[in-house]
Amino acid sequence: MKSETKRTEVNLVIEQYSEHEFTPNRKDNYLPNKLVFANADFSRVEQRLFEFFVNQINHGEIEPSHGIEVKIPISVINQYVETRQVMAVTQSMAQKVITLSDLSKSQLEFTHLPVFTSIEYNIDKSGLLVFRSNPKLSPYLAELGKAYTKYEFKTIQGLKSSYSVILYKLLAAHIGQHRYSFVYSIAELKKLLQIDPKKYQHLKGFKVRILDIAQRECANALNPIIFEYENEGNKQRNITHIRFNVITAVNLSRIEKQEFNEAVELNPQMVYSKVQEIIAKDYNFRELHRNLIVQNEEFLAKFVTLHIEFSNGLHPKVKNRSAYILACLGLVKKK
């Protein structure tokens, strides 16, 4: 009797890529929150190149079963990364994985995914740096409609510290969800910032070398995010959590108005003199209106409030600030 031989069928999967056409001067980057909170262990230069890749993704054209192919001219890359760095850096990037995990779950769950299947430069003297992403990453990139983070490309490229980049995107993610105060354990923070758990055992070193630097860089960024942080809890020793408080334009305006009121109490003559300088320099009021504002305490207080709000980016749609203020004061009719 002949024995039957079982045949094992092997399905070979051919990798497919959808090319996303290069779009120059794209202002913003968009990244699903799952990837913002993921761990990729990129160096600062690798982060810069990764942000170029993210910048050129056309999210409405993502095929979940296909990888993404992005071609970027080296002349554009050279704005932030020198050509001589590209080979060594991309070789390292091609070996990196991104780790997705949920810190809120009690049991450990994670997924390791290679980010890129290949990175090429100047093939056939094209002058192009070509990224091809892992097709298994595409379903995560396609989740933009659920919860995503928006941040300015030039802002993120301008940050110097790799920790500042990660923290800036974390802050942007929380702001996008309208959370302006939130808490992380130090263990969670180290994991998100890709810091060895054994490093910075003393909280002071962690604050000085990581958080304080990120705080300064985020505040001085092209599109700044101002935040404060504090130890969570009453104990002075064995602090395990840190609370972050984002200072919004509204809060900042409120603080500056309070400082103005305090300054008026201390030296009203100096403060009013300064306000008159601001009115003359920054606003186009007629002499009649200027005198009415300066001589009326209620008008003056309202003017200062609006000026502070303008300075902090509130009322962005207002084109004529002088006319807007006069209308708010009731000195001219609203159109």
SS3 6: coil
SS3 184: strand
Q: Which two structure tokens, joined as six digits, stand for 60?
A: 């409405």
pLDDT tens across 142-175, in order?
Answer: 886 678 999 999 999 999 999 999 999 999 999 8
Task: Give yes or no for residue 4 having a pLDDT over 60.
Answer: no
As a whole number of angstroms, the distance between CA 167 and CA 210 comes to 10
Phi then psi dihedrals of residue 286, to 5 deg = -70, 160
Q: Looking at residue 17, what is its pLDDT?
A: 93
As a whole number of angstroms, the distance between CA 308 and CA 300 comes to 12
Task: Give yes or no for residue 12 having a pLDDT over 60.
Answer: no
Which among 203, 151, 208, 197 is positioned nearest to 174, based on CA atoms? 151
SS3 127: coil
Task: Give yes or no for residue 197 having a pLDDT over 70.
Answer: yes
Phi then psi dihedrals of residue 271, to 5 deg = -65, -45
Q: Looking at residue 259, what is its pLDDT?
A: 85
As a whole number of angstroms, the distance between CA 6 and CA 4 comes to 6
As a whole number of angstroms, the distance between CA 238 and CA 31 comes to 35
> How many residues make up the chain in this entry?
335
Q: What DSSP string describes 60-118?
A: GG--TTSEEEEEEEHHHHTTTS-HHHHHHHHHHHTT-EEEEE-TTSSS--EEEEESEEE
pLDDT tens across 60-76, in order?
Answer: 899 999 999 999 999 99
CA torsion, points 171, 76, 137, 90, in degrees to nearest 10?
A: -100
Q: Looking at residue 294, what is its pLDDT?
A: 86
Residue 179 makes CB contacts below 8 A (sequence gap 6+) with none
In whole angstroms, what separates CA 107 from the centre of its chain? 29
Q: Looking at residue 190, what is its pLDDT?
A: 93
Q: Which two structure tokens, joined as six digits, stand for 65?
A: 């079963």
pLDDT tens across 69-120, in order?
Answer: 999 999 999 999 999 999 899 999 999 999 988 766 656 778 899 999 999 9
